[in-house]
């Protein structure tokens, strides 16, 4: 499975994400935001956490207009797999690959700690390594992780089983405590928590490694 990890100015989890994917068995290539094309044969595009372009204007907004953005959008639009974590989730909503928006945390403070996540669905390549309803522990680090979507959009997410993770309990005011959502074809996942920071024993937990292992295994079948 070939993965491309994009680096924007201000990304700070790109190496962590690359290592987590490589340890799971992926062939990883690092891609700079000024590149205009993805490596040939890319199966998964991974957009890491951090503060792309200093979060100026709006988190992820400037990154969504980088030269690589057109290739990222096209990859997702044609059914390619995409994973966006934290700032990467924000970028994916700005690109229109996922619905909703990430707002300022309700407490108006940066939240940085390990949290409990409930796996809302196991029916996706990203979450198939978990059981629906399973509670895992993964770190978060965000100031704008308050996921919001209108009533119609929320109803669609629920009806189509596209809520991937929820906070247990809530931490930032997100509607329905949503921590991650899937695209309609289930090939794009955006999540605020950082599974790459819980991918090996030295991190204090390995629950995040299950996401990457399941993803690589699922894509190997495609």
* Positions marked active-site: 86, 194, 196
Residues 194, 63, 124: CA angle, nearest 5 degrees: 45
- Of 125, 28, 126, 35, residue with least CA distance to 72: 35
Rounded distance between C-alpha atoms, residue 38 and residue 29, angstroms: 9
Half-sphere exposure of 116 (CA within 13 A, CB side): 7
Cβ-based neighbour number of residue 78 at 10 Å = 8
Measured in whole angstroms, the distance separating CA 50 from the mean position of its chain's CA atoms is 12
The answer to whether 181 touches 100, Cβ cutoff 8 Å, is yes
Rounded distance between C-alpha atoms, residue 162 and residue 186, angstroms: 7
Tokens (6 digits) for 110: 């940066």
- 78 φ, ψ (degrees, to nearest 5): -90, 5
């Amino acid at each position: 499975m070939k993965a491309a990890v994009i680096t924007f100015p201000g990304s700070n989890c790109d190496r962590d994400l690359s290592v987590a994917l490589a340890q799971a068995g992926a062939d990883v290539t690092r891609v700079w935001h000024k590149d205009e094309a993805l490596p040939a044969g890319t199966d998964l595009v991974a957009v890491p956490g951090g503060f792309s372009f200093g979060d100026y204007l709006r988190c992820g907004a400037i990154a969504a207009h980088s030269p690589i953005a057109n290739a990222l959008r096209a990859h997702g639009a044609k059914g390619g797999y995409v994973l966006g974590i934290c700032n990467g989730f924000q970028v994916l909503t700005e690109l229109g690959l996922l619905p909703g928006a990430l707002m300022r945390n309700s407490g108006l403070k940066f939240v940085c700690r390990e949290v409990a996540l409930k796996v809302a669905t196991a029916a996706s390549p990203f979450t198939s390594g978990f059981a629906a309803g399973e509670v895992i522990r993964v770190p978060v680090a965000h100031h704008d992780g308050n996921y919001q979507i209108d009533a119609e959009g929320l109803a669609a997410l629920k009806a189509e089983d596209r809520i991937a993770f929820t906070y247990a309990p809530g931490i930032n005011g997100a509607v329905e405590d949503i921590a991650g959502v899937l695209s309609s074809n289930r090939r794009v996942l955006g999540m605020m928590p950082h599974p790459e920071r819980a991918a090996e024993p030295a991190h204090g937990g390995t629950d995040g490694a299950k996401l990457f292992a399941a993803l690589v295994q699922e894509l190997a079948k495609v």
